[in-house]
Amino acid sequence: MDVTHSTFTLERRFAASVERVFRAWSTPEARKRWMAQGADHSLDFVVGGFETVKGFDSEGRALTFQARYDDIVANQRILTTSTLHAEDQLSTVSVSSVEFSSDGEETVVVVTEHGMYLPGQEKPEWREQGTAQQLDTLVAEFKAKED
């Protein structure tokens, strides 16, 4: 088989309201701060809209991540399909969900991603590690004053 299939689920708790955490995902300025640092970023956060992140890997290859928003229920869930290209070569195709729920004064976010990884490209453990790092960076959004 030349396609690797992999699924991971990450859960994080944030000391902020569901509405505030959801805004960090849906507002272009906030999303770029924690998800696309140092990269070109655009976000059209509507069903059918796209998010595009263009940057470079450690070897200087151009990377382009593009996600299509397939379902958005404010303060509850976001469903996307996405691709990652290294230069002009398709690397991965993924389907992801982000679920938001309130737990007292905290928000619980559960990210689940089902990925198909093409040979010689990104590895599932790299994607999981990168996503975990982005979620860890998101914590800083809630240490600042309420936006």
Which of 138, 142, 140, 139 is CA-nearest to residue 35? Answer: 138
Q: What is the pTM of this model?
A: 0.91
How would you write the pLDDT of the chain (147 residues) with one tens digit per residue? 699 999 999 999 999 999 999 999 999 999 999 999 889 999 999 999 999 999 998 889 999 999 999 999 999 999 999 999 999 999 999 999 999 999 999 999 999 999 999 998 888 999 999 999 999 999 888 876 554
Q: Does residue 65 fall inside a structural domain? A: yes
Is residue 147 included in any domain, yes or no? no
pLDDT at res. 147 = 47
* Structural domain boundaries enclosing 91: 4-142
Is 104 part of a structural domain of the chain?
yes
Count of beta carbons in the 10 Å neighbourhood of residue 111 = 19
CATH number at residue 37: 3.30.530.20
Based on the structure, what is the number of domains in the chain?
A: 1
- Whole-angstrom Cα Rg for the chain: 15
> What's the confidence (pLDDT) of residue 142?
86
- Return the residue matching tokens 């398709």: 90
Alpha-helical segments (H) within 4-94? 18-26, 28-35
